[in-house]
Amino acid sequence: MDGLSGERGMKRAAVVVLSVLLLSGCASSMVTGNASGGYGSSDGRSRTQVTSDATITSRVNSKLINDAVVGRSDIDVATRHGVVTLSGRVSNSSARARAVDLARSVTGVKQVVSNLYLR
CA 25 to chain centre: 17
What is the residue range of 49's domain? 3-118
Instruction: Name, in order, each residue with C-beta under 8 angstroms of 69's C-beta and a sequence gap of 6 or more.
Output: 94, 95, 98
pLDDT at 21 over 80: no
Q: Can you give the pTM of this predicted structure?
A: 0.68
User: Residue 76 pairs with which residues in a beta bridge?
Assistant: 87
pLDDT at 48 over 60: yes
To the nearest whole number, what is the mean pLDDT of the chain?
Answer: 82
For the stretch 58-115, pLDDT in tens is: 999 999 999 999 988 999 999 999 999 999 999 999 999 999 999 999 999 999 999 9
Whole-number pLDDT of residue 34: 47
Whole-number pLDDT of residue 39: 44
Q: What CATH number is attached to the domain comprising 30? A: 3.30.1340.30
DSSP string, 24-78: HHHHHHHHHT--TTSSHHHHS--HHHHHHHHHHHHHHHHHHHT-TTTTTSEEEEE
- The arithmetic mean of pLDDT across residues 36-57, rounded, is 81
Whole-number pLDDT of residue 50: 96
- Please count the structural domains in the chain: 1
Determine the Cα angle at 32 with ends 31 and 38, to 5°. Answer: 95
Flag the least confident range among 4-8, 11-15, 25-29, 71-75: 25-29
pLDDT higher at 4 or 15: 15
